[in-house]
Amino acid sequence: MDLQQYLDGGPFERVGFVMKDGEVIEAENVCADPRNGAEIKGEDLLKYMPDAVATFHTHPGTSKVLTRDDYHGFLNWPNHAHYIIGIDGIAKYIVVDGEVVIES
């Protein structure tokens, strides 16, 4: 699983899934402001989330620290991990007792 490579590819955030078998599947970022947000369309969520262990998205040109939108988005999927790939590396976030925390 090489997520860091997804940081390449322009100014838009890239987004996708890490599947149970380790496969990484990129999805279309349908966020209205894709430079500053990542959003996956509902049909892709329904298709992939049941067999995924995690989501990922990139923060081109900025850090792996989660945004307010990321925080609230991750809370919707408390049984999945959520990776953010920034210029300073990769952070793995998980939901514990209704709060998003970083897993080091």
Q: Which residues contact 88 (CB under 8 A, 6 or more apart)?
A: 63, 64
Residue from the set 15, 70, 93, 95 that interacts with Zn ion by CB under 5 A: 70
Give the residue nearest to Zn ion (CB).
70
Least separation in angstroms between residue 38's CB and Zn ion is: 6
∠95-41-69 over CA atoms, to 5°? 40
In a 13 Å sphere around the CA of 29, the CA atoms on its Cβ side amount to 20
Output the six-digit token pair for 87: 């210029």
Least separation in angstroms between residue 72's CB and Zn ion is: 11
Least separation in angstroms between residue 11's CB and Zn ion is: 14
**By C-beta, is 20 or 87 nearer to Zn ion?**
87
Is 70:61 a contact under the CB 8 Å cutoff?
A: no
**By C-beta, is 38 or 52 nearer to Zn ion?**
38
* 39 near Zn ion (CB under 5 A): no
Residues that bind Zn ion (CB under 5 A): 67, 70
